[in-house]
Structure 1
Amino acid sequence: MSLDENQQPLLQEEEERAYDSDQKVLVIGIDSDAESGGTVLPPFSWKKLWLFTGPGFLMSIAFLDPGNLEGDLQAGAIAGYSLLWLLLWATAMGLLVQLLSARLGVATGRHLAELCREEYPTWARMILWIMAELALIGADIQEVIGSAIAIKILSNGVVPLWAGVTITACDCFIFLFLENYGVRKLEAVFAVLIGVMAVTFGMMFADAKPSASELFLGILIPKLSSRTIQQAVGVVGCIIMPHNVFLHSALVQSREIDHNNKVQVQEALRYYSIESTTALVISFVINLFVTTVFAQGFYGTELANSIGLVNAGQYLQDKYGGGFFPILYIWGIGLLAAGQSSTITGTYAGQFIMGGFLNMRLKKWLRALITRSCAIIPTIIVALVFETSEESLDVLNEWLNVLQSIQIPFALIPLLCLVSKERIMGTFKIGSILKVVSWLVAALVIIINGYLLLDFFFNEVTGVAYTTAVCTFTAAYAAFIIYLTSRGVTCSSWRGPPKQNQQIEVE
């Protein structure tokens, strides 16, 4: 054996991976089912579905973060029930993107950040990494602020925002503590947090007693007017989170399967598709609860345009009263669950993004500390300013929404290019119909977010210097998107899963 051959296993061990082999969940029965070498998938098993359940629910947290909840309440208050159909279809588009992300991770054994590192030249890879980090920081700031607002509500204003931000910053250590007990324990905690959101917002839904007929008409009949266009754009724009695309492709690798065995890969994709769909159906119902509560209580009122995360609880209290358990605290508990769960998944995503793009094998506590510090320090500054000026948070949210909108193409385009390549995916590349649908969805999301950007800059940017800077940036931004779209991926040493004699139809 040559020196290169001796060194190859060592190099592979040293390379960054989403999960080490001892961290992965063993799926009982999947090996024995695939050992026969047949091409027919084993029958459906509830036990296997349970063992594969987890990554989709962690992924679904991004659909329930404080930014989404704020979009829900504003859509309900300003547009009433009329945008519920759009919430449904936006969730469906988000599901398609996340299923493609899971497909990439399962079929290749690599997550999106790792494949970007291997497939793009250094300069493009570094731009993609910086953009992913900026998107993550922007999302993290919103999530941390949401948690701080919830803590302030639940403490009756005793804990100021800056202190709530500091408390929330400590969740990265909770995350590290839980991760030491295994992936399944961490997933169980997130299931509990999602359950808390479902119960609290469901209680609000019951208190509001929304109109059943208007609710179903809002879901089934598309309706859009010039007065609600901004809320409609916001509903679609906040569904797809750039860091969540990277996250899901890594989370699915927490189960131990042979990525070179087509039967095992196909079976894993079956169960991941079921659990991801279930998770996003639950997230849609929770978002529906929030939207309808504010539609029922505030649509058509003078308060509609002034409701945000900070004052929403008090407005709910004034509208629906206290009751046995004041609705103000029900809202605060749900918001806290949303903020805490999303900040922890943000820390998780940050680890995968940094490790994948840079191939850095840092200790978990150090990587979590770096990821968390990038968001916490600017958030504390903003929280201190916000204590004396409520308008500052609205301005911050606008800028953060713009920041994340800018990043969306740099997650979607590489994902679609990679899942379309037989060299990367083998027989699991997406078919022509799914490819067309996926690119149409991506184009729609990019166009909608482009509208948000143009509307924001036309309203906010003035002066020759600022206009010149924005135009220059826009030109460079468009050029890089064209480069990513036209070039696809470059040839590299990574050739995807080895081809075998087994053939499975994959559409």
Structure 2
Amino acid sequence: MDSWAVSKPVEDERFGDRLTGWRRERGDAPLADVNRTIAIPRSGPGARKLAAFIGPGYLVAVGYMDPGNWATSIAGGSRFGYTLLVVALVSNIMAIVLQSLCARLAIASGRDLAQACRDAYPRPVSLVLWFLAELAIVATDLAEVIGTAIGLNLLFGIPLEIGVLITALDVFLILYLQRLGFRYLEALIVALLAVIAICFGVQVALADPQWGEVIKGFAPTTAIVTNPEMLYLALGILGATVMPHNLYLHSAIVQTRAYGGSIPEKREALKYATIDSTVALMFALLINASILILAASAFHGTGRTEVAEIGEAHGLLAPLLGAAIAPTLFGIALLCCGLNSTVTATLAGQAVMEGFLDIRLPSWLRRLVTRLVAIVPAAVVTLWYGESGTAQLLILSQVVLSLQLSFAVIPLVTFTSSRAKMGALVAPRWLVIFAGVIAAVIVALNVKLLVDFALG
């Protein structure tokens, strides 16, 4: 019998339950070199246990505020003011639901999303999903490579071409930090996020936005759907917020925690992992909203409605806000976002390649290969277009991510709603319905975008 068509019950010794809904066994654990390396207290107050789970959510949150998000938020804020804040809010709610399903899938089955697709679908289907996932990661890296290179250029005058090459060095940073322990990698990410938050807090205070209009911006409006240009930017914000690679990443790094295999231990792990990701994503919403508010206040409010280039936004902040420190803070935040995003995208690339293809390579070689697969196309495109086309490339990359999102979300919702695959931790019916509506909205918006594009 073909190994892709194993239908007998699979005994998962690590997790102590019989999961009958998979076509084949899981194989190696996701990100095996760091799997189950972070101890969880077996007793004591809940705060200690929660503290042990804090980390993966912030690595995921990084993907929700990457340089691609900056491009769509700056373009949306300068063009339409505060109107698209509601898109950032709705996208964040979608993200919270989907990331909680990722944690549920990982904890219940011991699989990340890539492994789950490989184990549940016939090989041709899983290979197609792998290709689409790699395409999404290339689009992600395109945004992150450009963003980091622009940040280096704005702060230190490093040419864009050299900055692109420097971003490839993050793989060595990951290797070094993971040799020390996965907690060190998480600490670096959280520290950079704190710097980003401080930078934007100061910039928004300098911009002095109209807070009444900000509140109105979180109210829904039909113009977002009826205006093709606004819909294009809204889908860009959606693609920049709910990113396919984050779904693969979260379901892998949740399993760095050494929670137990019993059902009560799994339920407890799911509770703390969901709290971690939810709080982290609310922080991401704060940053994303700050970018859009800054653009709306500094650019749209002064009649500069065509600002879309990150470099142009950087140059205009000082004269518009009247503070020389504003563009420096902008550049520092951008560089921190780019560094954070390239690190997490590299981990996501490793999870996708290992999970779908079930490859076995030394950890340094795995990371180098997955980094090159993503960065080479991004570097070629960046060097070809140069600085003149960075804004259009960044926004286009986020729309590509939005189009790819359905191919990750639909399997995720399908798996977590199956009792045969999830056992006692199957998603409750209300959550399945909510997630199904989110998937339907994503598909419908993407279909409308394609129709609008076909009709010119």
TM-score, normalising length from structure 1? 0.80
State the one-letter code of the partner of 1:206. A
Match of 1:265 in 2: 266
| Counterpart-to-counterpart distance in 2, 1:427 and 1:12 | 19
Q: Does 1:236 align with 2:238?
A: yes
Match of 1:26 among 18, 39, 45: 39
Match of 2:410 among 406, 413, 425: 413
Moved more, 235-244 or 373-382: 373-382
Moved more, 291-300 or 174-183: 291-300
Shift in CA distance, 399/217, structure 1 to aligned 2, threshold 3 Å: closer
Match of 1:139 in 2: 140
Match of 2:342 in 1: 343
| Counterpart-to-counterpart distance in 2, 1:188 and 1:94 | 23
Shift in CA distance, 373/78, structure 1 to aligned 2, threshold 3 Å: same
Match of 1:245 in 2: 247
Q: List structure 1 runs of 4+ shifted beyond 4 angstroms.
A: 11-14, 20-23
Deviation at 1:47, TM superposition (A): 0.9
State the one-letter code of the partner of 2:417. S
Match of 1:126 in 2: 127
Match of 2:214 in 1: 215
| Counterpart-to-counterpart distance in 2, 1:25 and 1:123 | 36
Match of 1:160 in 2: 159
| Unaligned ranges ≥5, structure 1 | 1-7, 34-43, 460-507
Q: Does 1:92 align with 2:93?
A: yes
Alignment of 1:337-416 (within 5 A): 337-387=336-386, 390=388, 392-416=389-413
Match of 1:328 in 2: 327
Deviation at 1:49, TM superposition (A): 0.7
Shift in CA distance, 172/206, structure 1 to aligned 2, threshold 3 Å: same
User: How many residue pairs align between the two structures?
Assistant: 431
State the one-letter code of the partner of 2:221. K
1:455-482 deviations in whole A, cap 9, x for unaligned? 34544xxxxxxxxxxxxxxxxxxxxxxx
1:180 is paired with a residue whose SS is: helix
| Counterpart-to-counterpart distance in 1, 2:181 and 2:25 | 23
| Counterpart-to-counterpart distance in 1, 2:175 and 2:205 | 37
- Work out which of the two has the higher radius of gyration on C-alpha atoms and give 1 or 2: 1
Shift in CA distance, 341/100, structure 1 to aligned 2, threshold 3 Å: same
| Counterpart-to-counterpart distance in 2, 1:25 and 1:52 | 9
| Counterpart-to-counterpart distance in 2, 1:176 and 1:288 | 33
CA contact (8 A) 1:152 1:161 kept: yes
Deviation at 1:246, TM superposition (A): 0.8
Match of 1:79 in 2: 80
| Counterpart-to-counterpart distance in 1, 2:38 and 2:444 | 40
| Counterpart-to-counterpart distance in 2, 1:190 and 1:399 | 26
| Counterpart-to-counterpart distance in 2, 1:148 and 1:307 | 17
State the one-letter code of the partner of 1:182. G
| Counterpart-to-counterpart distance in 2, 1:238 and 1:383 | 18
Deviation at 1:399, TM superposition (A): 4.2
State the one-letter code of the partner of 1:295. A
CA contact (8 A) 2:192 2:340 kept: yes
Deviation at 1:450, TM superposition (A): 2.6
1:258-285 deviations in whole A, cap 9, x for unaligned? 23x1110111111111111110111111
1:171-216 deviations in whole A, cap 9, x for unaligned? 1111111111111111111101111111111111111011222222
Q: Percent identity between the aligned chains?
A: 36
Match of 1:485 in 2: none
Match of 2:450 in 1: 453
State the one-letter code of the partner of 2:220. P
Match of 1:49 in 2: 50
TM-score, normalising length from structure 2? 0.89
Alignment of 1:423-442 (within 5 A): 423-442=420-439
